[in-house]
Structure 1
Amino acid sequence: MGKLYTLTKHFWISCAHSVPGAGKCERIHGHNYKVIFSVVGRELDEKQMLIDFRDVKQNLEKKYDHHYLNDFPEFKDSPPSTEKVAEVFYNIIADMCRLKNNSPQVKWVEIHETNEAHARFETLA
């Protein structure tokens, strides 16, 4: 029988965006996004972690916090809907996981845009 570790973390990030064709959301507006991600793996690293969640948080905050998401190339051809933000953040965390020797994998990323609405991105096996 094998072992499996799961790390789930949430943090907040403030961003502005606009979503063409989405009614009043076409206008520039902002959100305090709640970002939740889950990483799984069978082995821990030298710090006895799957991945240092502080690194994930800092990486995403450094790039996106208090910025207009539409200005980033990753949203040039696909506007930053909540679903698209979840996908982009998933890919960034997946890239971070690929750099680790213990081979963790991001399982999913959720973006809570409001208390009533959120989107989850994960890949299908």
Structure 2
Amino acid sequence: MTIHRRIKERREALGLSMEALGGRVGVVWQTVQQWEKETGGTAPKRERLQKVADALETTPEYLSFGEKDGSANGAAHTPTLSEPARTLIDLVRVADAKGLPAYQFDSVSAALRILVSQLDHEALAAGD
């Protein structure tokens, strides 16, 4: 199997469109299309391969050579995130790529921690 097919299979296994993968990596969907094209396509450049692997929740070694089972560190396949969670992660990646200041990430993190804490308290209250 080629790197082109492994990229496509991982993208599809995660339920990502070409546009979504491109957004995670910082390229247009046509670039992803070229990466997946078996004949006449191009592979991701070495300096971008780690970012592609991260976006596909796998390793550069797997994409390049087919080593391990396709999931990061050869571990069992990670559960697929919900669409809202993937959207949030994609937005964080875009904000990071555009240079969002650390203090603004801290504000978002704090708000998310408060929401999670509220869910924990609600779950405890429901268990009483």
> With structure 1 as the length reference, what TM-score do the two structures score?
0.28
Structure (1 or 2) with the greater strand fraction: 1
The structure where helix makes up a greater share of residues is 2
Larger radius of gyration: 2
TM-score calculated relative to the size of structure 2: 0.28
Higher RCO (CA-CA < 8 Å; seq separation 6+): 1
